[in-house]
Structure 1
Amino acid sequence: MLPSPFSSHSRRAPLTALLAVLLAVVLSACSAAAAGLNSYQSPDGRYAFLYPTGWTRVQVTDGPQVVFHDLINADETLSLVVSDVNSTNSLENLGSAVAVGEKLRRVVIAPEGSGREAELVEASEREDGGRTFYDLEYAVHLSDRDRHELATVVVDRGRLYTFAASTNEARWPRVEGLFHQVISSFTLRI
């Protein structure tokens, strides 16, 4: 007896091909999402983080240790400031996430006389690699525009690391997820 063109074997071939195509699409979408970030590690291997593809490093003097910005949207930036603190201090000794976030707001983001206003939108604490990180979110008001900023801070061996990503408020809804991914990628390696 000859197999019918409607047998289960002949119906499985198109289904198998369809599943293979769907699997390929899903896998390529996953790799495309991962391909949206590049890794950066400090020359001494002390810290590392991810930054968006299409961003470039900018050399600055008397400023942050590391600065990246988007080539297309040049006002989108990523920066790392490393400050000295008392070597016996821990992040918890400096205060809660809200207290540290408010101090950063008053002293760095919108100091008196700067013409900027900032609001601490959210402050949370997380553990990573045995270290405490404070993740902070700000709405920043400048005279000509509004901005949104995410930051994470951590203390290690007498140094306070402040890693921040900033964009204009109009672009915030499009980059919010990406910025959260970048900020939470900051890690101390040694």
Structure 2
Amino acid sequence: MALAVVLSLALVGCSAAAAGLNSFQSPDGRYAFLYPTGWTRVQVSDGPQVVFHDLINSDETLSLVISDVNATNDLESLGSAVAVGEKLRRVVIAPEGSGRQAELVEAQERLDGGRTFYDLEYSVHLSDRDRHELATVVVDRGRLYTLAASTNEARWPRVKVLFHQVIQSFTLQI
């Protein structure tokens, strides 16, 4: 009886942690992640593989970019979490001449399913507003996966926990 109570409390805790999230899986079953309820997928050409945005706060986005890397590379061979985070900041988030400035706020390494992920947090300054972005990166079979969630700085305190859940939900399944 006590075991049943403990198990039911554990299951309630797990479902509460994922409350307000829907699951997305790639058509080929290769990767999956959670995205916030009320967000919708939008089709883009010549851009990220997958994009979702909030219907109410349309400047809140979630995107997955898949890039080719040397098939013999693993994430660690690309550099530490800080080094990879800084390179993404310079090359993708705020390249020279873009008019954007970005600061890498935090870079952490985590292991999940036997794979190394780098979780990155950025503060981004645009000419007309400030934004906050979380990203996770992982390398698998010659591909670099970058899942990023972004919002305006004013909403960051309200969505911080949710965005962390989304970013950390990214998993490679095959």
Fold-level similarity (TM above 0.5)? yes
CA root-mean-square deviation: 1.6
**1:15-164 paired onto structure 2 within 5 Å:** 34-164=18-148
Q: In 2, distance between residues paired with 1:167 and 1:117?
A: 15
TM-score, L = length of structure 2: 0.91
Structure ranking higher on relative contact order (CA contacts 8 Å, 6+ apart):
2
User: Shift of the alpha carbon at 1:28?
Assistant: 8.8
Q: In 2, distance between residues paired with 1:174 and 1:89?
A: 37
User: Shift of the alpha carbon at 1:102?
Assistant: 0.1
List 4+ stretches of structure 1 deviating above 3 A: 27-35
Structure index of larger Rg: 1
Structure 1, unaligned runs of 5 or more: 1-26
User: Shift of the alpha carbon at 1:35?
Assistant: 3.5
Q: Percent same amino acid at aligned positions?
A: 89
Q: In 1, distance between residues paired with 2:15 and 2:82?
A: 36
Aligned pair count reads 164
User: Shift of the alpha carbon at 1:143?
Assistant: 0.1
The structure-2 alpha-carbon separation of the partners of 1:34 and 1:144, relative to structure 1 and needing over 3 Å to count, comes to: same
Q: In 2, distance between residues paired with 1:30 and 1:93?
A: 34
Q: In 1, distance between residues paired with 2:88 and 2:95?
A: 9
Q: In 1, distance between residues paired with 2:130 and 2:113?
A: 34
Query: Greater helix percent: which structure?
Result: 1
Q: Give the AA of the match of 1:51.
A: Y
The Cα offsets for residues 57-102 of structure 1, whole Å up to 9 and x where unpaired, read as 0000000000000000000000000000000000000000000000
Q: Give the AA of the match of 2:77.
A: N
Q: Residue 182 of structure 1 corresponds to which residue in structure 2?
A: 166
The Cα offsets for residues 108-151 of structure 1, whole Å up to 9 and x where unpaired, read as 00000000000000000000000000000000000000000000
TM-score, L = length of structure 1: 0.83
Secondary structure of 1:44's counterpart equals: coil
